[in-house]
Amino acid sequence: MRPGDGSPSARKTRRFKLSHNHRISKQILDTHPTSFLGLEDLTGIRDRTKRMHGKKASKKQRRANRHASKWAFTELRELLAYKAALAGSVCIRVDADYTSQTCARCGHTSRANRPQHGLLFACQCCYMTLHADLVGARNSCLRTLLIRQDWISTGQLSSVPDVTDDEAKAARLKRYAEVRWSSATSLLL
């Protein structure tokens, strides 16, 4: 029997993931009580990511692929959402589009900002260099703050808009590009 088919090892793995996700969500909410949490909408992430397969991939890459493809992202988001509501926090989904290709300092978006699609982010416009995951996290944070600002001004919290409408998506991405990360904003967070 293989993991995922109801075998004892599959149930053990499932319990391990659930337990770990509970610990992660509890730690986040214990560290940041009564917060406005924004999580990237990772729906379809496994289909969107291009990973090396077969003989091209090293043993380490194949192991990382296997680990990433089995993790329960949606479960973690759902645990965070229900625990946040109980703790008086708010947990929302944020568009993940181009978060690791957009410069948080100047707003320039380009595939060239990620040389060889690696973990280094190097803006082609303002020359900011940083770890790509940190840039993605900063952009997600800025988008969360933008949604929070809209919520405060309108009194309505909207969910992630329909991404199938190209005009709405282009308008959202343009608005996201206008928000900047600065040392003043990072001190407040």
pLDDT of 23 over the 90 cut: yes
Q: What is the pLDDT of residues 81-109, one digit of tens each?
A: 999 999 999 999 888 888 989 999 998 99
Total-model pTM: 0.73
Q: Which two tokens stand for residue 6?
A: 């109801």
- Render 119-172 in DSSP notation, one character per residue: SEEE-TTT--EEEHHHHHHHHHHHHHHHHHHHHHHHS----PPPTT-HHHHHHH
Place of tokens 């940083």: 130
Check if the beta carbon of residue 79 is closer than 8 Å to that of residue 21: yes
Cα 172 to chain centroid, rounded: 17
Give the C-alpha separation, 64 to 73, whole Å: 15
Q: What is the pLDDT of residues 42-65, one digit of tens each?
A: 776 656 555 555 556 677 777 766
Cα 143 to chain centroid, rounded: 11
Q: How many degrees, rounded to 5, is the angle at CA 107 between CA 101 and CA 109? A: 35
Check if the beta carbon of residue 84 is closer than 8 Å to that of residue 91: yes
131: which strand partners?
Answer: 120
Give the C-alpha separation, 168 to 116, whole Å: 30
Q: What is the pLDDT of residues 103-130, one digit of tens each?
A: 999 989 999 999 888 889 999 999 999 9
Place of tokens 């194949």: 62
- Which one-letter amino acid corresponds to residue 20? H
Give the C-alpha separation, 189 to 186, whole Å: 5
Domain limits of the chain? 1-94, 96-189
